[in-house]
Structure 1
Amino acid sequence: MAIVPNEPVLALRGISKRFGAVQALTDIDLEVRAGEVVALVGDNGAGKSTLVKAIAGVGPADEGVVEWEGRPVQVSRPHDAQELGIATVYQDLALCDNIDVVGNLFLGREILRAGVLDEVEMERRSRELLQTLSIRIPSVRIPIASLSGGQRQTVAIARSMLGEPKLVILDEPTAALGVEQTAQVLDLVERLRERGLAVILISHNMADVKAVADRVAVLRLGRNNGTFDVKTTSQEEIISAITGATDNAVTRRKARNAEVAK
């Protein structure tokens, strides 16, 4: 794993967001460092998507400070986030089924030579990128529709790497994937970390979170409800923070052991 510096790549300080009468986020703090995977978890409606949109510039926060590499920045539009080095891979992937892998990777970033698409160069760079990330697909010239769910996900993540980001946000990257496909995606998440990138992983799957995350940030009802070190925290404790439960297997064991110790 890459060495994690003290200064966060991204730090959110007191982020709040309101939609009319609904307070979606209240005073949210979050930090993520280079070479670190931070899982963002919480029940439906906890504020995960709203927070991701605030970071990505899709739905800017109403209050609070966004710090990038130690300095306050404005992220008012998706372009602002991209310029900083923030790449977001949403759950719908935004891939075009009838276009091949090369076309999807360079969609909106096409390479031109004398005003004509340079297909040879785009194919070369596509192969190079996929090889660098150890992504295996049958061919870069087959339509996206021909790929498995896991392969489609890895292509979407690879596309986000073309802008050479420093932070990658992955929104439920293993949702609806089988065991082998999930393993492919989790392997890629680990490779992103090994390359020194900061990663925010949104997931409902605690097994995936425990497998690749370094820390887990829990949102509950639009507020911070704890940040946990994966190595020293049980799955039950994280789930308790997600649900807001105070009486669970972990707390009962602690109480029982405390009674025994008296």
Structure 2
Amino acid sequence: MSVRLSTVILPYRRWHEEGRVAWQRAEELGFYTAYTYDHLSWRSFRDGPWFGAVPTLTAAAGVTERIRLGTLVTSPNFRHPVTLAKELISLDDISGGRVTLGIGAGGTGFDATALGQDPWSPLERADRFGEFVPLLDRLLTEDAVSYEGDFYSAHEARNIPGCVQRPRLPFAVAATGPRGLRLAARYGQAWVTTGDPKLYESGTPEQSRQALRDQVDKLGKACADASRDADAMDKVLLTGFTPDRGRPLQSLDAFVDFAGLHQELGFTEIVIHWPIPDSDFAADEGVFERIATEAVAQLA
């Protein structure tokens, strides 16, 4: 399967100053999907401007026509399936069926405590995710849903007319552990990873690729257990979190080499961050645009 190239545009720019321009440019450059993070704030951007994912994607839908739009990733940290489903159905309608929901279990960052709760343990995050995804699937595919679970409930929640995309908009499930991979195999149209975080500081690119190979193999086993063909599932690598860091964006050749090695592992979509000066995602914009317009043809 040929590899697709997508980008992620962090929502820190004011829309009418620079924000709108980036999303329109992403479409002009030919990216397959333009994603954004779904956080209340994030790492070094915590004390600066940061806007909501769904309003940003709604605005982007209004100024683009072809490019797909999505989150990388939404999590239960500050979301409820009932209200999220309503927003997603609305966004899918406004965009004309161009939305992909990247979804994961969440972590221990600022989102985990912004609503005043104590951070959830890894076990509770997994438990909540295991309830969140199936309920969201029902809410996006059924006209009326009632449900009582350990963490979430819905009482005659109406979601008419449903998604433009049928039976619902696609899920790209971020997961590396066994429970998350089972959810990806059961509910995901795509699977997302950033690699092995333990290797980010001191690992090598070769160790990272081996860890990713192992993740792909585990996904394959989860799909087999679910009587599903893993080769039919898109496999998405969100870059910037492996030991390679920003090196693949230093030149077109460097990126083609990086993407080709990961294409060989089975990845069908590579996501690169839109350049942000003076950050971990700093990159030469000229090189970035060359990658956007030339890399896919070289990888074909």
TM-score (norm 1): 0.39
Structure of greater Rg: 1
Structure (1 or 2) with the greater helix fraction: 2
TM-score (norm 2): 0.36
